[in-house]
Structure 1
Amino acid sequence: MGVIKVQVKWQRGMYPVEIDTDQPPALFKMQLFSLTGVPPERQKIMVKGGTLKDDSDWTKVGVKANQKLMMMGSAGPLPKAVSEPNGGSADTVMAEAEKDGTEGDANGKGGSKAFHPPCGLTNLGNTCYMNATMQCLYSIEELKTALKGYETTSQLDPTARLTASARDLFRKMDFEASGRPSGSAAGGSLAPSGKFDLDAERSDGEDGTYEERSVTPTEFLSSLRQKFPQFAQQGAGGLFMQQDAEECYSQVLNAFREKLDGSESGNTVKDLFGIDLETSLTCEESDETAVEASTVYTFKCNISQDVNHLHDGFKIGLCEDREKRSEKLGRLALFKGESRITTLPKYLSVQLVRKPPKQRRTRALSLSLSLCVWLAD
């Protein structure tokens, strides 16, 4: 079936979504979560035969291109129950829910307010990898704050130009999303919650679709290709080639780390994304041992038919053998490596690595995760 486009109706909005039928429905639900704010466990998506399950078979669900699907569910956290010893009850909890508007029916009456994504980025010709990267980084407020304070006097430095153009791009996205530049003294005021009102100067279309604004990231694309020429590769007919989103994400993050970390803003990228590891290496031939410390910015989860949980993929990724010079043997020897986490970041970046590509899975990959088992003492 490949990739098909559908329309998902939730409350007053209509959201266009692409379904990759080679992936489990759990991934589709995560896409809807990013668009609506409704957690996957609360989503009820009506399909042929009932509701869509995390491990449903797309071939049996019978979803067709341009089909309209109905989703029910509420965004935002559920209210915490008040314990009985303090005089609380289920009625009290329901009353608080109605008061706060955290729960509601599918029509949105008395329910939670729809979450609207930030403004879009125009595709400039196979640049979806770049747009996805910048939308992801745009959602991290601490990174945006650090970029706002970044100043450069040289446009000859490709890294400085890339960082400055990212700062300007995020400002434009803030402006288009809210009608006011984020953090600008000349701009408007913040909402009581401390966030911009994303509904400002927005409206619902006559067909119920939500009208989004977009920014054309021409300057950022130019600076990206200047800094990393691999993203300027052209194929037949002179068209720019599609690129890998994870590679773009890693390269942009490294550029930010070079310019932001160690500045007045502190080690922003290291604090937000850095994963400190302690790796124990053992050579079975010579009984030599060594301990190495390192920092990575992405956890790799290797997906195969035998990996059905993030935990399984990380276990493989943290046990890595390598060749290293043995002082006792006087030559290269195989060292078995096992890593433990010494510091976790605020934002954990995960790369799902599939080998071989497009290998069809019979089970959905579980995305819940506890990292306690890999923490160093």
Structure 2
Amino acid sequence: MPKVSVKVKWGKEMYPDVEVNTDDEPVVFKAQIFALTGVQPERQKVVCKGVTLRDDSWANFKLSNNALVLVMGSKEEDVPAAPAEQTRFVEDMNEAELASALDLPEGLINLGNTCYMNATVQCLKTVPELRNALLNYDKSSGGGTAGGLTAALSETMRALESGGAGACAAAAARLLHALHAAAPRLAERGAGGQLAQQDASECWAEIVRALTMRLPIAPEPDSKSLVEQYFGGTLDVELVCSEADEPPTKSTESFLQLSCFISQDVKYLQSGLRSKMAEQITKMSETLGRDAVYTKTSKISRLPAYLTVQFVRFYFKEKESINAKILKDVKFPLDLDVYELCTPELQERLTPMRNKFKELEDASIESSLNTKNKNHGDGKKDSKRKAILPYWFSEDIGSNNSGYYRLQAVLTHRGRSSSSGHYVAWVSRGDSWLRCDDETVTPVTEEEVLKLSGGGDWHCAYLLLYGPKILEIPQEDDEEPMVTDVTDEPAGDPPTALA
């Protein structure tokens, strides 16, 4: 009997008719208790008939209908409530009050070293096309462990949109259960039996893999997935042997993210990406009959709308048997231009939209100067409506047609090893930024985000998510609203999530 209804007693409080599904991991039940009592799962001691509930197993913890479950544990220290008449200033508010006052979104509870999962979800949530697809996902469609993980992520997105803290806690617990089913290596436990910290990049890759399988654009079996459409790019690769006179070998490779390798010379993201595009590798030479050195040159031939970049900060340290961390400061920009990394053919196709951006920038500067001279700083602003131009090529929705990107999420790590420390998501919301530190969400500035470049024990950027830079052009009041393409070809149907 996997589902039972029990009574939960915490101190003087009694909560009757709490439904428990023992097919879920015990952390799901603890998340339910958190939603009822406010006691964090790691602070809970859950007892029934003298047996204490473990985090990883229901063994020996037998539940039956109407069983009495005792919960011991206290909430974290709360800031005393101010008198009703007293004015509350932002500087004096605690994090919960600040979230309420500023209408901040919900966070995700840490179920015990699950910050890597929470940060990954918050970053992916910033992609509107992906978020909408998950909100509309048919959870009854099956699909094995990949389908279970996608369904759990769909439930989590719904909870984050409008579910409240209790629903978010339960959804996070189910997502963790589904993630462990899809990737058992992420369910490893430490010597004390607690969940071990995991690498956020591995979690990101596992979730993206499941979404690639379960979110097709069309019902046809061979249709491209939504992930491939909006996150996938292609590289034109050329291999030239440095030790023999061989004809160059040309091929095409697909990618869902780019890597920025960190060396002594790399101080900026752009230089790290460039170095990866021209590298020396060793491979078997058919001409020489042995391994030889080749120069591998890569150029991007298809840019995705959303560009994921990983800082390769971890390496295996044999002496300590840990994935040690490179703390070096590597600057990254809010606005990224990848034009120089593209093939000549793609560069030519990018030029029309890039010219549009340049024309708008020049017109904006000229208009600003004219307005200042005419009005002598009277504070009047241009009230013209704006028309949005598509960021994709008309025949390739989900691509990027300018090479310009805007940073929209940063996943950071604080600590010295990928198997320890703490992960946090920093996400853009309109013109502002939010820090999503598990269940705590607080506003931050762009300056604080740019300080996440590394160089010490503070949070270091590990994964960057760039979205397409949107071009908005002024439109006269008597003009019809337009969304148009920069080519002479008819524009494709816009994604449903584009606003």
Alignment of 1:86-105 (within 5 A): none
Correspondent of 1:271 among 225, 229, 250: 229
Distance in 1 of aligned mates of 2:104 and 2:145: 30
Whichever residue aligns with residue 262 of structure 2, its letter is: I
Q: Name 1:198's counterpart in structure 2.
A: none
Correspondent of 1:232 among 171, 178, 187: 187
Distance in 2 of aligned mates of 1:261 and 1:332: 41
Distance in 2 of aligned mates of 1:134 and 1:15: 25
How has the CA–CA distance of structure 1 residues 132 and 218 changed in structure 2, closer, same or farther, with 3 Å as cutoff?
Answer: same
Distance in 1 of aligned mates of 2:267 and 2:130: 33
How has the CA–CA distance of structure 1 residues 175 and 355 changed in structure 2, closer, same or farther, with 3 Å as cutoff?
Answer: closer
Q: Name 1:295's counterpart in structure 2.
A: 254
Distance in 1 of aligned mates of 2:276 and 2:160: 36
Tell me the TM-score normalised to structure 2 length.
0.44
How has the CA–CA distance of structure 1 residues 272 and 284 changed in structure 2, closer, same or farther, with 3 Å as cutoff?
Answer: same
1:249 paired to 2:204: yes
Alpha-carbon contact 1:150-1:164 (below 8 Å) kept: yes
Q: Name 1:329's counterpart in structure 2.
A: 288
Alpha-carbon contact 2:234-2:253 (below 8 Å) kept: yes
Q: Name 1:371's counterpart in structure 2.
A: 338
Q: Name 2:303's counterpart in structure 1.
A: 344
Deviation per residue, 1:222-247 (Å, 9 max, x gap): 11001101110011111110001111
| Bigger Cα Rg | 2
Give the CA deviation at 1:117.
4.2
How has the CA–CA distance of structure 1 residues 298 and 15 changed in structure 2, closer, same or farther, with 3 Å as cutoff?
Answer: farther
How has the CA–CA distance of structure 1 residues 260 and 321 changed in structure 2, closer, same or farther, with 3 Å as cutoff?
Answer: farther
Tell me the TM-score normalised to structure 1 length.
0.57
Correspondent of 2:138 among 146, 151, 160: 151
Alignment of 1:44-83 (within 5 A): none
Correspondent of 2:110 among 123, 143, 147: 123
How has the CA–CA distance of structure 1 residues 214 and 172 changed in structure 2, closer, same or farther, with 3 Å as cutoff?
Answer: closer
How has the CA–CA distance of structure 1 residues 327 and 115 changed in structure 2, closer, same or farther, with 3 Å as cutoff?
Answer: farther
How has the CA–CA distance of structure 1 residues 15 and 354 changed in structure 2, closer, same or farther, with 3 Å as cutoff?
Answer: farther
When the two chains are superposed, the root-mean-square deviation of aligned CA atoms in Å is 3.1
Alignment of 1:162-311 (within 5 A): 162-176=149-163, 214-216=168-170, 217-261=172-216, 263-264=218-219, 267-288=225-246, 289-311=248-270
Q: Which moved more, 1:251-260 or 1:142-151?
A: 142-151
Give the CA deviation at 1:367.
2.7
Distance in 1 of aligned mates of 2:244 and 2:297: 17
Deviation per residue, 1:277-319 (Å, 9 max, x gap): 1111111222331112111111111224421111111112222
% same residue = 35
How has the CA–CA distance of structure 1 residues 246 and 158 changed in structure 2, closer, same or farther, with 3 Å as cutoff?
Answer: same
Which has the larger share of strand?
Answer: 2
Distance in 1 of aligned mates of 2:89 and 2:265: 36
How has the CA–CA distance of structure 1 residues 323 and 306 changed in structure 2, closer, same or farther, with 3 Å as cutoff?
Answer: closer
Give the CA deviation at 1:13.
8.5
Deviation per residue, 1:196-255 (Å, 9 max, x gap): xxxxxxxxxxxxxxx999433111111100110111001111111000111111111111
Q: What 5-or-longer segments of structure 1 have no aligned partner?
A: 1-8, 17-34, 37-113, 178-210
Alpha-carbon contact 1:126-1:242 (below 8 Å) kept: yes
Distance in 1 of aligned mates of 2:288 and 2:93: 66
